[in-house]
Amino acid sequence: MEKLLTEHNLIIEVEKLKKIIKDKVEQRFLEFKKLGEEGDELDLYSELCFCILTANWKAKGGIKAQKLITKVGFAEYPEEQLVSLLKKIGHRFPNTRAKYIIENRWIIGDLKSLIQQHYVNARTFLVDKIKGIGWKESSHFLRNTGVEDVAILDKHILKIMKTYQLIEDFPKPGWNKSSYLKLEKILKDFAEKVKEPVGKLDLYLWYLETNSIDK
């Protein structure tokens, strides 16, 4: 009979990982904070585009896109060129994502001041105003610019939460604010038990599921 895993088992797994990859996690978070503190508007817009591109795709693909398109390309390339480059790396939705990148350029110039606001206000603004950004993607962007207090509830993290009985079942497709914040609170409560902010905990859980520390 298969052993039923519990929250206690997940605490044990995270504590094991902290002994192995804590230095790497801390280094990655320093990179996030450096981007938020020292990155210019184009650096920040590139990261916002990364989060838009990884939605319903994959982080490694988003990283490839950042390298290929460059921060100047995200800010300046015409739509046809963006579509071509996204097709080149095999993006699932090249046309839609290129359109989002073009239509969101108005935010360039305001991103630095936005991420300096309280994360609750910044996240709500991003969800309301930016094309292709929902609760998960806005949390991803803020975490990647150094915000520790947001959870990135993607399929990998939700799978872990269900496996270890933090949640009974997967949420229905299509996040709304209340459902996202409800599950984020559950993960924040767990994060307190392993003495890590939820934004850093994400890196441990991501490693547990994928055996890599991405962003």
Is residue 1, in this structure, part of any structural domain at all? no
Q: What are the pLDDT digits (tens) for 178-207?
A: 999 999 999 999 999 999 999 999 999 999
Is residue 101, in this structure, part of any structural domain at all? yes
**45 and 118 together in one domain:** yes
**Band of the pLDDT at 215, cuts 50, 70, 90?**
confident
Last residue of a domain, one of 144, 174, 194: 144
Q: What are the pLDDT digits (tens) for 127-177?
A: 999 999 999 999 999 999 999 999 999 989 999 999 999 999 988 877 789
pTM above 0.75, yes or no: yes
**44 and 14 together in one domain:** no
User: What mean pLDDT do residues 60-64 have?
Assistant: 92
Catalytic residues: 136, 154
**101 and 166 together in one domain:** no
Work out the percent of the chain whose per-residue pLDDT is above 90.
88
Is residue 2, in this structure, part of any structural domain at all? no
Tally the domains of the chain: 2
- Across all residues in the chain, what is the average pLDDT? 95
Q: Is the Cα dihedral 99, 105, 106, 107 positive or negative?
A: positive
For residue 1, pLDDT over 60 is answered with no
- What dihedral angle (degrees, nearest 10) is formed by the CA atoms of 154, 156, 162, 165? -110
For residue 66, pLDDT over 60 is answered with yes
Last residue of a domain, one of 100, 128, 144: 144
Query: Of the candidates 126, 122, 128, 175, which has an alpha carbon nearest to the alpha carbon of residue 147?
Result: 122
Q: Find the domain containing 203 and state its range.
A: 7-35+150-210
